[in-house]
Structure 1
Amino acid sequence: MTDPLDELKRAMDRATPIPDPARRAANLARAEEIFERAQGLAAAPRPTHDRPTGWAGLRNGAGRMFAALAARPALAATTGLAALSLIVLVPLIREGGVPLLQPEDPLSGTMVAQDGISIGPAGGEVAEIAAAPAAVEPPSAPAPAAAVGSPTDIADTESLDIAPRVRSRRSTAADPEVELALRAESIAEAERIGHDGTGRPGSETFAHADPQPLRVAAEEPVSTFAIDVDTASYAFVRSTLMHGFLPSPEAVRIEEMINYFPYEYAEPEATGSPFRPTVTVLETPWNRDTQLIHIALQGRSPAVEDRPPLNLVFLVDTSGSMDDPAKLPLLVQSFRLMLGQLRPPDQIAIIAYAGSAGLVLDATPAGDRTAILAALDQLHAGGSTAGSEGLHLAYQTAERMAAEGEVTRVILATDGDFNVGIADPDALEQFIARKRQSGIYLSVLGFGRGNLDDATMQALAQTGNGQAAYIDTLSEARKVLVDQLTGALFPIADDVKIQVEFNPAAVAEYRLIGYETRALAREDFNSDKVDAGEIGAGHSVTALYEITPVGSPAVLSDPLRYAEPREARQDFDGELAYLRLRYKEPGEAESRLIEFPITPGMGAADADTRFAAAIAGFGQILRGGRYLGTWFYPDAIALAEANTGDDRFGYRREAVTMMRLAESLAD
């Protein structure tokens, strides 16, 4: 009686190709190339000074390891390999075709077969063991042309590039070279799914800052901070919620969530200050015994034809980790959208760092779309880090492009790899600060998940007088680089600082909502050497204070026992606070001052001010809601829904959807 396994063995023997040493060498070289491109090995250590340490770092590392091991492609590849190996090895074992392994040779460190042939190091790669069936004498008859695993079929692997293009799992046990390529693919895909696809909190790095504390006006009457026009936090929170997770508190910067939205604030006059401040005092939604001071700045919007020529240098991360649809491909699509907004006098240069380093496109007029698009198409992710001169080259190129009366800006686009040639973080910030003095701005765009170094993004953008934005969808790219292009790239006021002095006779306590990473010392307000934020053309900036009036039952601090209470001047009893703003005209070294008092009932609350308050409440809920009492998601949703106003782009309705999603995840 014929054993079915014998028939299976003979069929597989007939399908086994004749060993080809040249093909083996070529496939191994190709597999190693793919593996290197998938790994994106660095030539030098990347700065990790602001990464989590201790248990937090251990948790992140363990989380990434388990995510990679549990990824579906990795499990599928290993399970399939095990099953196929079993089918091949069982009949061979029955006929004695597989050599039995003897104990390890103590001198060579290898496992030795009964016939004395060295198999390889103990615990070696599975691919080497899987090559054992190739030692079986092949049949004299040629294999059928269409046989699985035939040389024609294996030749298809010459087209292997980057995962996920590798999809075939054909007869990998008979060809260890292909198995090595598939192993590289599995590692790359597992890393992408484990880091980028989940969106789970804990895999990113954020600047740590404690929430703004409640302050007693009689003891600390002055609050000083730099404005912030970044929007990265809101987009990151949205991405996390859409992946089914609540964001970690440190990822939530309330001022960036508020400033994400366009508002219809009163615009400045055609002459005079480049922006107009507006103050509104209204009841706090979450506490009827306190009030909100809503401070809004609206920048002037020049006509497109009146804006100065623009010089842009794209510094693009092309490391292996950028090989993801939400990273380099989205980045290229985003820049394509942006091209349509540029004018013929504008210029563009493209520099790549990491995977493919160097000048990809020298200064080119924006009207030469063919050359620019061709250069963008040349960008590809993969390979080892080779960007030692990336940032230097970007600024050198920008300096060559710069001219009097023009705006020059470097745009760094990355998923978190800041290995741009200056390893020391402090030296990197000092370098950018020096270049800022020469009039060259720096903006940072973050793409993808899993490797995002938000802390460094914020630090570099703040130092470079630029904006930090996180782009997770093509719609967000359109918002940042198309709808708000003028505001993002054309500054109208530099080093904008806000200082509020509260009147202790009227205000018992106060707290600034957000702006934790933008706090300044009181004396920094009058120092023109201290860097602060910029306002772009048409940009709006919002800041909110919650104040507790004197005599309110909401006062939380008891009077001091031993210190004498400070006498408040009574001749300003009609004022809540005094607002001061400082700014510089672009290119100027001396700041200008705007100042006026804030009085009770100032301004009229409208849909814009109430919606900003709803977003402020939403952000506080995500950070723990210490001062909100029983005010929770339903209250934030109701307030936001009632004040969507003229939501032309649907951003406010999207925010309501995010609130509902966060409410569901919190349950």
Structure 2
Amino acid sequence: MSDDRTDDDLEALRRALAREAAPAPDPEARARAMALALENYDRFQGRASGLRQGKDRPAGAGFLNGVRRMSGSFFSRPLLAATGSVAALGLALVVVMPNARLAEPPQTAPDAPEADARLAAAPEAGGGAETAGAPVPAAPQAAEPRARSAAPQTFAADEAMPIAAPPAPDLALSKQAADAPVRALPQGDSEAFANAPDNPLRVTAEDPVSTFSIDVDTASYAILRSSLRAGQLPPREAVRIEEMINYFPYDYPAPENGTPPFRPTLSVTRTPWNPETRLVHVALQGRMPAIEDRPPLNLVFLIDTSGSMQDPAKLPLLKQSFGLMLGRLRPEDQVAIVTYAGSAGEVLAPTAANQRSTILSALDRLDAGGSTAGEEGLALAYRTASEMAGAGEVTRVVLATDGDFNLGISDPEELARLVAHERDTGVYLSVLGFGRGNLDDATMQALAQNGNGQAAYIDSLNEAQKVLVDQLSGALFPIADDVKVQVEWNPARVAEYRLIGYETRGLRREDFANDRVDAGEIGAGHSVTAIYEITPVDSPARLTDPLRYGAEPPEGAHGDELGFLRLRYKAPGESTSTLIDTPIPDMLTEASEDVRFSTAIAGFGELLRGSDKLGAWGWDEAIALADGARGADPFGYRVEAVQLMRLAESLSR
């Protein structure tokens, strides 16, 4: 029956066409078709972003570019114009659908959070660490040693770090960098960043002691990355060099059983930008306990659902990020959700972490709208956390926000005092920033630093994977609280010194032994790196002359020491600190791969801040140094950094 009906329909169409004369050519329709065709051509050839695949394309892109060149010869503008009559005739012959129009050009790829949201569907209850449609890499924990390259490159102690040629142009993009879309930063931003002027050069004879709190935050690196990917240099005040250095995992020696929870490692190398000075690396590596030995975890997700969180890079990405974390929690862990906008409320009562469908459903129901009652939300989150806390357990509030507090307390210092008061109850606070445009980094830093927590910025699911999955133990499980560093430099050996970064973490000399003064925490498996540039007393690079009436150091006093390192920390839950100390030997060491890479990142930060400390050392040297120290780099963090450095160099011109 269906075949007969089809034949009848075709025959009726033939008769209708035979009766109707071909429509007369329409000059206006032809002109409209030609204009639209040329417009589509121009839009295909130059997208709104204006970006082109350059010589830095990933390996294997040559074939695709060859296809593009071939298609370009077929679809050149003159040839398209010459064949416009055929297009117009084809349009005129469409008599069944007189309102038909040429197809619009395809839309550009969706932004990261929207695309990632579809790729990383919510995991089912009881599943593993993967998400439907987008398997999550089974990455090792942060403390596991990175694989070394087959033949690591080292340099003799009396050699300066070499200035190599810039990397070859076929350097492949990491998957993380390649997958990241280009997003323009919002216009009319009101962002605020926490920073301070560069640490000054200190004269050892006048000020021999340097004291600071450790910092394992990573927000600054992710923020500057989002700026560079948007085609803009980051604001100078957004660049915190210590957070750039500590963004990357390093293979420092781990502490042995029965020793303090972290181990210091010291190295002294020549400075790549000034062969007459030295760099002293102070590295700490935290212990990674066995996963089965970690205590139960109580998490309160404190989620900003105000109107400013509507952007796809904010609340939608936030939901997916927390969804990734759930696969790494254990059945004895608990999760609660508190939200705040015009007012605060509990969306999910404390729930066992293996009830993933219940938790994900609560996340999925969240919508953005209203003002930002941050103070009220914090108070409710802390009350919820205190009710969940049990003996021997770790309890933490994880605040996810763009930092735009505009109801109740909004001043960073007042919020810091509120959090500091709650810190004494033993509840930790971590802060995750989302989105750009009104990012209040200053408030986020004040909260994290006073809440014994980490501040991170999440700009993609890749970053959420790194912070909330791969480094979950380090982000959530503390092994040492109030960790302070103090270095006393020997004036007989060191004329001048400066600490690179840590401007917002400086402490007074008397704060070091005062257990009432707060400092940073080290999480399980965390590494911490600090770099000093020092000038030997006999170096021609010395910038200050000895004082005429200054006290001369006694001859031969600790002549084999550049200085003395002291560390203080508290075991979690304790109120009294423990002291670790060790001399810094006056001996050049080989520049390991980790030392060279962290030095390159320090130089990257100095260049972004417009520092005058580097002399003629510039982008080419920084890129070459980082590229030569990439190593195995299993997750592409280091190769991504090299790409960002090259992008920053181009933008700086």
Specify if TM > 0.5.
yes
Aligned counterparts, 1:219-618, within 5 A: 219-354=206-341, 357-385=344-372, 389-419=376-406, 421-423=408-410, 425-561=412-548, 563-568=549-554, 570-601=556-587, 603-618=589-604
Question: Which amino acid in structure 2 is aligned with residue 654 of structure 1?
Answer: E
Q: CA deviation at 1:429?
A: 1.8
Aligned to 2:636: 650
Report the Cα distance in structure 2 between the residues aligned to 1:650 and 1:200, rounded to whole angstroms: 31
Q: CA deviation at 1:571?
A: 2.6
The answer to whether the 8 Å contact 1:443/1:461 transfers is yes
Q: CA deviation at 1:387?
A: 6.0
Describe the shift of the 1:564–1:201 C-alpha distance in structure 2 as closer, same or farther (beyond 3 A): farther
Q: CA deviation at 1:247?
A: 1.1
Q: Which moved more, 1:387-396 or 1:298-307?
A: 387-396
The answer to whether the 8 Å contact 1:315/1:413 transfers is yes
The answer to whether the 8 Å contact 1:200/1:243 transfers is no
| Deviations 1:565-611 (CA, angstroms, capped at 9, x unpaired) | 44345230110010000000000000000001001226542100110
Give the number of the structure whose residues are more often helix, by fraction. 1
Describe the shift of the 1:280–1:420 C-alpha distance in structure 2 as closer, same or farther (beyond 3 A): farther
Q: CA deviation at 1:626?
A: 1.1
Q: CA deviation at 1:304?
A: 1.0
The answer to whether the 8 Å contact 1:356/1:381 transfers is no
1:665 maps to 2:638? no
Q: CA deviation at 1:207?
A: 1.9
Describe the shift of the 1:623–1:201 C-alpha distance in structure 2 as closer, same or farther (beyond 3 A): farther
The answer to whether the 8 Å contact 2:195/2:240 transfers is no
| Deviations 1:4-52 (CA, angstroms, capped at 9, x unpaired) | xxxxxxxxxxxxxxxxxxxxxxxxxxxxxxxxxxxxxxxxxxxxxxxxx
- Secondary structure, aligned partner of 1:663: helix
| Deviations 1:321-379 (CA, angstroms, capped at 9, x unpaired) | 11111000000000000000100000000011015731000100000011101100111
Aligned to 2:163: none
Question: Which amino acid in structure 2 is aligned with residue 648 of structure 1?
Answer: P
Q: CA deviation at 1:622?
A: 0.6
Question: Which amino acid in structure 1 is aligned with residue 608 of structure 2?
Answer: L
Report the Cα distance in structure 1 between the residues aligned to 2:554 and 2:608, rounded to whole angstroms: 37
- Secondary structure, aligned partner of 1:220: coil
Describe the shift of the 1:640–1:201 C-alpha distance in structure 2 as closer, same or farther (beyond 3 A): farther
Report the Cα distance in structure 1 between the residues aligned to 2:567 and 2:374, rounded to whole angstroms: 41
The answer for unaligned runs of 5 or more in structure 1 is 1-71, 73-163, 165-195
Q: CA deviation at 1:201?
A: 10
User: How well do the aligned residues superpose, as a CA RMSD in angstroms?
Assistant: 1.9
Report the Cα distance in structure 2 between the residues aligned to 1:663 and 1:201, rounded to whole angstroms: 25
Describe the shift of the 1:391–1:617 C-alpha distance in structure 2 as closer, same or farther (beyond 3 A): same
Question: Which amino acid in structure 2 is aligned with residue 627 of structure 1?
Answer: K
Report the Cα distance in structure 1 between the residues aligned to 2:347 and 2:191, rounded to whole angstroms: 30
Describe the shift of the 1:421–1:395 C-alpha distance in structure 2 as closer, same or farther (beyond 3 A): farther
Report the Cα distance in structure 1 between the residues aligned to 2:601 and 2:332, rounded to whole angstroms: 39
Question: Which amino acid in structure 2 is aligned with residue 496 of structure 1?
Answer: V
Describe the shift of the 1:385–1:219 C-alpha distance in structure 2 as closer, same or farther (beyond 3 A): closer
- What is the identity percentage for the equivalent residue pairs of Structure 1 and Structure 2? 68
Report the Cα distance in structure 1 between the residues aligned to 2:250 and 2:375, rounded to whole angstroms: 42
In the alignment of these two chains, the number of paired residues is 474
Describe the shift of the 1:279–1:387 C-alpha distance in structure 2 as closer, same or farther (beyond 3 A): closer
The answer for unaligned runs of 5 or more in structure 2 is 1-47, 49-113, 115-182
